[in-house]
Every structure is written in C-alpha cells, then in structure tokens.
Amino acid sequence: MPLPDRFIEDLTMRNRIEEVASSYVNLRQRGRNFVGLCPFHGEKTPSFTIYPENNSFYCFGCGAGGDIITFVKKIEHLDYLDAVRFLADRAGLEMPRLEIDDTVSKLRRRCLEANREAARFYYELLYSPAGKEGLDYYHSRGYTDRTIKHFGLGFAPNGFHALLDHLRKKGFHDEELLSAGLCRRSQKGHLYDFFRYRVIVPIIDVRGNVIAFGGRVLDDSKPKYLNTGDTPVFKKTNNLFALNFAKEGERTLILCEGYMDVIAMHQAGFTNTVAALGTSFTEDHARLMARYADDVFLLFDSDAAGQQGLARAVDKLRTTGLRTRVVRIPDGKDADEYLRKHPPGDLKLLIERSPGDVEYQLSAIRARHTLTTTDGKFAYIQEAVKLIATLSNPIEQDLYAGRLAQETDVSKSVILQQLDSMKRRRKKRAEREVLPQELKKERQETQRINPEALQYPEAAAAEEALIGLLLMHPDYIEAAARELPAEDMLTSLNRKIYALLIERKQAGLLVELSLLAVSFEDDQMAYITRIWNKAGTLGGSEDDMQRYIRVIREQGSLSKINLNGDGSDDDMRRAMEALRKIKT
C-alpha cells in the first residue's frame, strides 16, 4: 500500500523546494522562479531552475528535474522512502505506519547499523592488548588520543572472523554484512573479514552515519590502502572524508590526497580539510564541495601522481565556479610529513600565499615551452591567451595579460588585442550554438527517456503538449479521456503518464508532481517536469487540448495504414478511407 496522498501533500507543503534546495545551491530569484548552478553537473552559467509554483526543479544543462522528493533522492543519494523520511524528519512529521515494500530502505538501515557497530568494535579493540600495534602506529605518526577518539580510529586484527563473529552475535545476518562490504565470500563459500591486520579509519557522512571504512597496512604488504567498495549506503564519488567536520566552518575547504593527511591537518588546526576516498577526484566531488565552499585550497603531493591528481582536481573544480588556489609544499613533502617537521604556522603561511589555479596553470603552460625562441614564445602566448579568455572577470583578464606581457616582452596592448579577438570568437560561437544546443539536448533527453518518440515524432510532441496541459489544468482530464482513451497514445511512456492522470482524476485524487513520484524513475520525473513547465509557454485552452488530441488520433490512424502494400485498388481504397476518417 503506497503512502497516503494526504501525507505527501502535507510533506511537500511543509518542504518548499526553494528552501530545501538553498541548503545545497546558491539561488537567486529570477521573476517567479529561482536559478543557480546545477548541483548535478558542472557549469559556470546557471541553468538549474526552481519552480516554486509547482514545487519542482529542472536543469536545462543536464536534464535533471522533478519534484521535491526527487530532488532529495538525487542530492542525498537515497531511495524514495528514505527521501520521504528525510523530508518528514525535516518537517517534524511522523511517517505513516503502513505495510509497504521498503526492502531497500531496510537494507540501508541495517548496513548503517552494522557499520556503526563495526566502528565501535574496531575502536574498542585498538585500546585493548590485541590492538597495541595499531595504537603504537597512530602514536608514531604523532596522533594524540584526542585525535584518535575524534575520528573514531580503530584496528582490525590479523584474523579472518573477528568482526564477523562479533556482528553475528549482535544479530546481523550474513547477507547484510556482505551488502555493507564488511565481509567477503571465499571461493568455497565461507565468509571472512574484509579488513584484516590494518589500522581502520571510519568514513562518516555529513549526517553523522558511518558509511564505510578505510584500512592501512602496518607493514609493507600490498595494497597499502584498502577501502570499502560501493554499497547501498556508500559510493566513493558521492563522499569526501571528514566533510562531516569540515562543513561546519566558513565556506572554505582544503583538499588533500588521502585521509592520513587530513587527520594530521585537523590535528594541526586546519579543520576544514577533506579528501577523496580511494579514487580520483571527480566532477561529483567538485559539485559536493561547491555545496559547502566558495574557495578551495589544493594541497597535493609533489610527486608525479600527486601533480596529475592536482591537474584533474583543478580541471573539475573550474567547472563549478569555485575559486581555487594551489598550495606548494617545499622539498616534495606531503601535508602529513611537512607538519611533522614544521609548526602549523609555517603551513598557514604557505596556504595564505598560495597562487590561484590560473597562475598554476600558466606556470604549467610556461614549463611546456621554451621562451628563448620565437616559436616557443608565440606558442606560449597563444596557449596562455586561450586560458585567460575563459575568465569571466575583466580585472583578472587584464592582470594576467599584463603579467604575460612582462614575461614575453610583448606589448600588453597586442596581447589584449589577441585576447579580445579570441573572446569575440568565443562569444559568437556560443551565441550561434546556444539555441541549437538547447534544442538538441531536449531532443536527446526525450529520445533517451521516451525512445518511441523517434518513431512517432509528431504524435510524441502532441502527447507531451497534451500531458503538460492536463497537468496545468487537471479539470480537463475527464474530457480528454472521453475523446482519447489511454491506449490510443502511441508512445508507451506517455501512455503510462496519461493513464495515471486519468486514473487519479477518476478516483477523485489530486494531480501533483510529488504524488506521481512514487510511480516513475528519476529521469522520467525530469521528463514530466520539463513538459509540465514547458506547457506554460504553449496554449492552455480546451481548443488547444482538442488540437493535440486530433494530432494524436491522426498520427495513430496513419501509423495503421499499410503504406507498403502492392499498390492494388484495395490498398488505395483502405488508405483513402483512413484519410477520410482522420478529416472528419
């Protein structure tokens, strides 16, 4: 039995999407709506739109969209029921007690409970005689007991069943432990602990849940680091280590490579430090950082791997509009090693004096060219001007153009001319492409979500217009149903949406986005939201409804005509009869 409509109505009324979204996105009002940088893909120009009128959102850049429940599902990586619980908790509502299929939600809760119990087990073991090696290791790195307790650090013994036996005694089932990533199954079918003879670092999300673990060896065995794989409660690209602590400060974050660096940084007072978790820095990480920061300092190792990771991070962060600076640690040290030999004040100075990401990239470009030759100098200017042209702030552009002139002994006015020329070309290209790109994206999204639209383009367009109109004017639904039965829709997705609208109307139920969300996937909700909001730009009368229905019926009749006949009189007669029916 689904959640009652009255509860969902109350839930959405108490959770306005503009208020919820503002916790994740910096919004500004544009007419009746709100816009901001999309939290679901990287962009510098806002294409993410909030529609307070129907409590929905849509991004014209990536096609994400839906109601308030869909937004929470996507932004918090939850299933439907957990997203509803999230909003209910926020609004102070009690969830209805119903017999509903919440298998996924129950598994998520059990994974979180198992992780919490595992973290307690690892921490308590660390301070037992069996954990002496792990505790000595932490102390050798300079970690205090206060830091160890703050991060909940622990130790996994050198055995195959220590955690497994403990959690079984606590009532956890084997499948739950496998799902949580705490155990693995051998080729013979036996379960064993995933983390063995390692110091353990719990991974905690921004709501305080233990969602995963990282483990480091105490000897030279490989792999040096081991991390929980993707589970129902954890995905590496959706989380940053120590963000639960770092988000509490001002909107500035420091990004390191690994969690050992982060722990050392926090102990030294840099409590706004985070790290990616056992994977390369991704666009998802960058978008997550943009929720909590305006400025990011990159503090990566000086070796080749660290510099490659730094370049990737700079590239990803630039797409979010975050201000990014690169901290250079002397002598090739990482943050942890530097702090062992220098006071925190020295590192603070390095951070304060760190150059911006543009300056870092210009240095990298300069290193690729020989400025003592004319060809090298020309290549450097061309590549550097291309980078400077991407900057939106004219003051920044002027400053970097002046620096480029000094470095190359080329007149600043010449460089500015080159810069203006490149900017004009970029602007013309953008203006030329913006409308076709938007139309192309919309068409691609429609074909991806409703592939039959490619087979019936005119009918699909009329179906979309009709559904959008009915969502705006639910009082038209009964009249539409009399004229056009649901089975006459040519595309299956639109047929499903249309049938549900009719079903709800005939049952005396409301037609609202949040009341449809339980019946459709996220991308389908985005599709519905787009055609609903697009309907506002089209006709909204009963005459328009009749016109859309007529097109759908005509296209349906045409699709039944056998145009591949042998040209006989009977074929021609059937075709003419079908056409006559269309016109009447």
Check residue 241 and report its DSSP letter. B
CA distance 532 to 422: 40
58: part of which helix (H) or strand (E)?
strand 56-59
Exposure on the CB side of residue 470, measured as CA atoms within 13 A: 30
> CB-side exposure of 431: number of CA atoms within 13 Å?
6
Stretches where the chain sits below pLDDT 50 are: 434-435, 562-568, 571-572, 574-584
What's the pLDDT at 101? 58
Tell me what pLDDT residue 480 has.
94
Q: Which of 545, 541, 366, 559 minimizes the C-alpha distance to 465?
A: 545
> Range(s) for CATH 1.10.860.10 in the chain?
451-583
pLDDT of residue 70: 95
Strands (E), 335-455: none
- Residue 527 phi, psi dihedral angles, 5° rounding: -60, -45
| CATH number of the 5-91 domain | 3.90.580.10
d(CA 99, CA 395): 62
The tokens for 361 are: 């990239």
**Contacts with 415 (C-beta within 8 Å, 6 or more apart), sequence order:** 381, 385, 401, 404, 405
pLDDT of the residue at 573: 52
Coil vs helix vs strand at 362: helix
Residue 269, sorted as left (phi over 0), alpha (psi -120 to 50) or beta, turns out to be left
> What CA–CA distance (Å, rounded) separates 459 from 582?
14
CB of 442 closer than 8 Å to CB of 427: no
Distance CA 533, CA 104 (A): 32
End-to-end distance of the chain based on CA atoms, in angstroms? 45
pTM: 0.74
Residue intervals of the chain classified under CATH 3.40.1360.10 are 243-354
The CA-atom distances, in angstroms, between 62 and each of 42, 59, 314, 441, 494 are 9, 6, 21, 8, 21
Query: Using an 8 Å Cβ cutoff, are 182 and 167 in contact?
Result: yes
For residues 178 and 186, what is the distance between their CA atoms, to the nearest angstrom? Answer: 12
CA separation for the pair 503, 398 (Å, rounded): 62
Q: Which helix (H) or strand (E) holds 505?
A: helix 492-506
Largest Cα–Cα distance in the chain?
A: 96
Three-state DSSP state, 39: coil
Burial 536-549 (b: 16+ CB within 10 A, else e): eeeeeeeebbeebb
Q: Is 428 exposed, middle or buried (0-12, 13-18, 19+ CB in 10 A)?
A: exposed
Pair of tokens at residue 449: 């979500």
For residue 104, which of 83, 89, 126 has the smallest C-alpha distance?
83
In the prediction, which pLDDT does 432 show? 59
| CATH 3.40.1360.10 for domain 243-354 | yes
Class (C level, CATH) for 104-234? alpha beta
Antiparallel, parallel or unpaired: β 295-299 and 323-326: parallel
- Strand, coil or helix: 234: strand
What residue ranges of the chain are covered by domains with CATH 3.90.980.10? 104-234
Beta-bridge partner residues of 227:
214
Q: Locate CATH 3.90.580.10 in the chain.
A: 5-91
Give the pairing type, strands 33-36 and 56-59. unpaired
- What are the backbone dihedrals phi and psi of residue 356, each rounded to the nearest 5 degrees, phi first? -70, 165
Domain 451-583 class in CATH = mainly alpha
The answer to whether the bond into 223 is cis (omega within 30° of 0) is yes
Q: How far apart are CA 209 and CA 555, in angstroms?
A: 54
